[in-house]
A and B are shown apart, each in its own frame.
Chain A
Amino acid sequence: MPLYRDEGVVLRTYKLGEADRIIVLYTRGRGKVRAVAKGVRRTRSKFGSRLEPGSMVSLQLYEGRNLDIVTQAERTEPLAGLRADLDRYGRATIMLEAIDHVSTEGEANPALYKLLTGALRELDGSGNALVVPAFVTRLLALEGVQPQVDECVACGAAEGLVVLAVHEGGMLCRSCRRGGVAISDEARLALSALVAGRVRQVLESTSAQAGQELELVAARMIEQHIERRLQSSAVIYEQLG
Chain B
Amino acid sequence: MSAYARPVEVLIDELGRLPGIGPKSAQRIAFHLLKVDTVDARRLADAIVAMKENVTFCERCYNVAEGANCAICTDPARDQSILCVVEEPKDIAALEKTGVFKGVYHVLLGVMNPLEGIGPENLKIRELALRVAAEDITEVILCTNPNLEGEMTAAFIASKVLAPFEVKVSRLASGLPVGGDLEYADELTLGRALEGRHGFS
Partner-B contacts on A (CB < 8 A):
12, 17-18, 43-44, 46-50, 52-54, 75, 78, 80, 83, 86, 89-90, 93, 96-97, 231-232, 234-236, 238-240
Residues of B within 8 A of A44 (CB): 177, 179-180
Which one, A12, A49, A239, contacts B186 given CB within 8 A?
Answer: A49
Q: Is B118 an interface residue (CB 8 A)?
A: yes
B146 to chain A, nearest CB (A): 8
CB-CB under 8 A for A236 and B187, given A18-B20, A44-B180, A89-B152? no
CB nearest to B122 among chain A residues: A235
Are B112 and A235 in contact, CB atoms less than 8 angstroms apart? yes
Are A239 and B120 in contact, CB atoms less than 8 angstroms apart? yes
A240, B119: Cα distance in complex, Å: 9
7 tightest A-B CB contacts, nearest first? A48-B186, A231-B117, A232-B114, A235-B119, A52-B148, A235-B114, A49-B188
CB-CB under 8 A for A93 and B115, given A43-B177, A53-B148? yes
B37 to chain A, nearest CB (A): 31
CB nearest to B158 among chain A residues: A86
CB-CB under 8 A for A231 and B189, given A44-B180, A86-B159, A240-B156? no
Encoded as 1 (CB less than 8 Å from any A CB) or 0, chain B from 104 to 131 comes to 0000000010111111110000000000
Which one, B115, B160, B186, B187, contacts A53 given CB within 8 A?
Answer: B115
Which one, A53, A78, A80, A234, contacts B117 given CB within 8 A?
Answer: A234
Residues of B within 8 A of A75 (CB): 186-188
A37, B184: Cα distance in complex, Å: 16
B155-200 residues at the A interface, CB under 8 angstroms:
155-156, 159-160, 177, 179-180, 184-189
B120-147 residues at the A interface, CB under 8 angstroms:
120-121, 146-147
A235, B119: Cα distance in complex, Å: 5
Residues of A within 8 A of B159 (CB): 86
B195 to chain A, nearest CB (A): 12
Which one, A17, A43, A83, A231, contacts B115 given CB within 8 A?
Answer: A231
Residues of A within 8 A of B116 (CB): 231
- A-B pairs with CB below 8 Å: how many? 68
Apart from the given pairs A49-B148, A50-B188, 16 other A-B contacts in the complex at a CB distance below 8 Å: A17-B20, A44-B177, A48-B186, A48-B189, A49-B189, A52-B147, A52-B148, A53-B148, A75-B187, A86-B156, A93-B114, A96-B115, A231-B116, A235-B112, A235-B114, A240-B156
Q: Is B13 an interface residue (CB 8 A)?
A: no
A98 to chain B, nearest CB (A): 11
Are A47 and B156 in contact, CB atoms less than 8 angstroms apart? no
By the criterion of a CB under 8 Å from any partner CB, how many residues of chain B are at the interface?
A: 28
Residues of B within 8 A of A96 (CB): 115
Are A12 and B189 in contact, CB atoms less than 8 angstroms apart? no
CB-CB under 8 A for A49 and B147, given A44-B177, A75-B187, A86-B152? yes
A96, B113: Cα distance in complex, Å: 13
Q: Is B151 an interface residue (CB 8 A)?
A: yes
B148 to chain A, nearest CB (A): 4
B18 to chain A, nearest CB (A): 13
Residues of A within 8 A of B188 (CB): 48-50, 75, 78, 80, 83
- Among B114, B146, B147, B186, the most chain A Cβ lie within 10 Å of the Cβ of B114
Residues of B within 8 A of A12 (CB): 115
CB nearest to A94 among chain B residues: B114
21 examples of A-B residue contacts, CB within 8 angstroms:
A44-B179, A46-B184, A47-B186, A49-B146, A49-B147, A49-B188, A50-B186, A78-B188, A80-B188, A86-B155, A86-B156, A89-B148, A89-B152, A90-B114, A97-B115, A234-B117, A234-B119, A235-B119, A236-B114, A239-B121, A240-B156
